[in-house]
Amino acid sequence: MDTYSFGMLMWELFSMIVPFADNIEGAQTFVIDKNCRPKIKYSRTETDDKDAPFVPNDIAEIIKRCWANDPQERPASISDVSEMLKLITFS
């Protein structure tokens, strides 16, 4: 699995929503041509997008790195993502 897909899977686990479910056919244009990604809520109290999932900041940063527009800026492998996840502590 590539790291972009892994980032999408992490977003899906937090949101319990299939990414781009409302427009699967247009997802490629949405992501590649327009550089759009699913929304992430960084605070449980944010109200500007009720459909965006709350994702803890450390996880959100990893997801965003996996989704970088330039593939060279993404983690090189799932092993790299795994190492980043190991550094996160939940309290």
Q: In angstroms, rounded to a whole number, what is the distance separating the alpha carbons of residues 4 and 49? A: 23
Looking at the structure of the chain, the number of domains it has is 1
- Give me the amino acid identity at 21: A
Q: For residue 61, what pLDDT is reported?
A: 92
**What CATH number does residue 8 fall under?**
1.10.510.10
Domain with 75, as residue range(s), is 3-86
Specify if 91 maps to a domain.
no
Q: For residue 51, what pLDDT is reported?
A: 66
Q: For residue 49, what pLDDT is reported?
A: 64
Q: Average pLDDT for consecutive 10-residue bins of the chain (91 residues)?
A: 89 83 68 74 63 80 92 94 87 52
Specify if 22 maps to a domain.
yes
Q: In angstroms, rounded to a whole number, what is the distance separating the alpha carbons of residues 63 and 59? A: 6
Please say whether the beta carbons of 41 and 59 come within 8 A: no
Q: In angstroms, rounded to a whole number, what is the distance separating the alpha carbons of residues 43 and 32? A: 27
